[in-house]
């Protein structure tokens, strides 16, 4: 497990956020966690990125069943996981 975490804060116009996030995913091959304000936002961004061809991503929030959440957390801990979107 990595001993440090890099935090990145970017100010981006609303209409550029999805493209900027997609670019960050492609430029940073590794584990990534992105937080959103709502479950709806989390689902919409995940769906949109998947439609754009971003692979290896999923989201986790309280409306996902417990089995799915546990599977996603286990996958996130494995070396092949790319990114996960928790809603806060």
Residue 52 lies in a domain: yes
In a 13 Å sphere around the CA of 42, the CA atoms on its Cβ side amount to 21
The domain that holds 71 is classified in CATH as: 3.40.50.300
Mean pLDDT by 10 residues, the chain (88 residues): 72 91 86 88 93 89 92 81 53
> Structurally, how many domains does the chain consist of?
1
Residue 58 lies in a domain: yes
Q: What is the pLDDT of residue 65?
A: 93
* Token pair belonging to 76: 């996130």
Does the predicted model carry a pTM greater than 0.95? no
Residue 14 lies in a domain: no
Residue 55 lies in a domain: yes
Residue 19 lies in a domain: no
What b-and-e string marks burial along 33-66, b requiring 16 or more CB atoms within 10 Å of the CB?
Answer: ebebeebebbbebbeebeeeebeebbbbbeebee
Q: Domain residues for 59?
A: 30-86
Answer whether 45's CB lies under 8 Å from 21's CB. Answer: yes
């Amino acid at each position: 497990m990595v001993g440090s975490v890099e935090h990145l804060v970017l100010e981006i116009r609303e209409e550029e956020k999805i493209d900027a996030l997609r670019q960050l995913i492609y430029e940073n091959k590794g584990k990534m966690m992105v937080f959103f304000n709502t479950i709806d936002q989390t689902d919409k961004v995940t769906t949109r990125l998947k439609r754009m061809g971003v692979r290896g991503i999923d989201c986790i929030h309280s409306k996902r069943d417990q089995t799915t959440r546990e599977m996603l957390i286990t996958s996130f801990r494995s070396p092949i996981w790319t990114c996960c979107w928790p809603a806060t």
